[in-house]
Amino acid sequence: MSECTINVNDVYKTFNVYLDKASTVKEKLLFFSRNKMEKRQVLKGINLKINKGEVVALIGTNGSGKSTLLKLMTKILYPNKGTIEINGKLTSLLELGAGFHPDFSGRENIYFNASIFGLTKKEIDEKIDNIIEFSELESFIENPVRTYSSGMFMRLAFAVAINVNADILLVDEILSVGDEHFQNKCIDKMIDLKRQGKTMVFVTHSMETVRKLCDRAVWLCDGRVKMDGDVNKVIEKYVEATK
């Protein structure tokens, strides 16, 4: 069980923040000296090993680099220095329903969204009933997604993402989906996935969820790992520090 699924090795990430961005050739030529740029270092040498089956929470204040770290893991962003190794199929729930097309029906969007996660038609065919059942949108599934309420939209998106059957799941601050009933259902599903031995990484500010789901917490502060270890101990220190 000590097989390493995510290995973050001395990762640095810097964003270029333009104060006065010259995005056109004209501006670049005319104002090349004026092109002020500020380098903002978001991650400063992160080392993190996550083993198979571990459920880890990333905690920290806003701007501490949690979401950036998740984006690096899913290969939306790439590090400036250091390496990230991923072993296994990875799905990220960073932003729900990113690929949804408002004019297509719920069912069509399930197919499209699931294909973004790398599923084949056959695999989606097998899962579609589960997805619809989980979303509890049976009677609306043929309607275009633009007619959905935001809660319904989120439920559909979450139902797709959770049924992708990945080995590694990255979740960013989305467990506040829908009403309390649906939230509990999501957490139950997460616990179920945990039992199946999936690796999960959460970013959340809800310490209650962290306690319920995770066995390890990593506290990021100012782009560095401040504390890493047993969930209760880390939260205790974290809450103390942020008081």
Partner 1 sequence: MTGVFKNLYNYRELLKTSVKKEVRSKYKNSFLGVLWSFLNPLLQILVYAIIFSLILNNKQEHYAIFLCCGLIPWTFFSTSINKAAFTFVENGNIIKKVYFPREIIPISVVTAETINFLISTIIILGFVIFGGIGISKYIVFYPIILIAQYLIILSISFIVSSVCIYLRDLQHFIGVLLQLLFYAVPIVYSQEDLPMQYQWILKYNPLTYIINAYRDIFYYQTSIEIVPILILILASIILLIIAYMVFNRLQKGFAEQL
Give CA 94 to chain center in angstroms. 3
Nearer to partner 1, 117 or 148 (CB): 117
54, 3 in Cβ contact below 8 A? no
Nearer to partner 1, 146 or 211 (CB): 146
Measured CA to CA, the distance from residue 141 to residue 35 in angstroms comes to 50
Shortest gap between Cβ of 177 and partner 1 (angstroms)?
A: 16
Shortest gap between Cβ of 93 and partner 1 (angstroms)?
A: 10
Q: What residues make contact with partner 1 under the rule CB under 8 A?
A: 15-16, 23-26, 71, 74-78, 90, 92, 94-95, 98-99, 101, 111-112, 114-121, 124
Nearer to partner 1, 109 or 209 (CB): 109
Nearer to partner 1, 81 or 233 (CB): 81
Shortest gap between Cβ of 206 and partner 1 (angstroms)?
A: 22
Measured CA to CA, the distance from residue 50 to residue 77 in angstroms comes to 19
Nearer to partner 1, 103 or 208 (CB): 103
Measured CA to CA, the distance from residue 33 to residue 219 in angstroms comes to 40
Strand partners, 220: 225
Shortest gap between Cβ of 117 and partner 1 (angstroms)?
A: 8
Shortest gap between Cβ of 186 and partner 1 (angstroms)?
A: 19
128, 107 in Cβ contact below 8 A? yes
Q: In 3D, which of 103, 104, 125, 105 has the Cα closest to residue 114?
A: 125
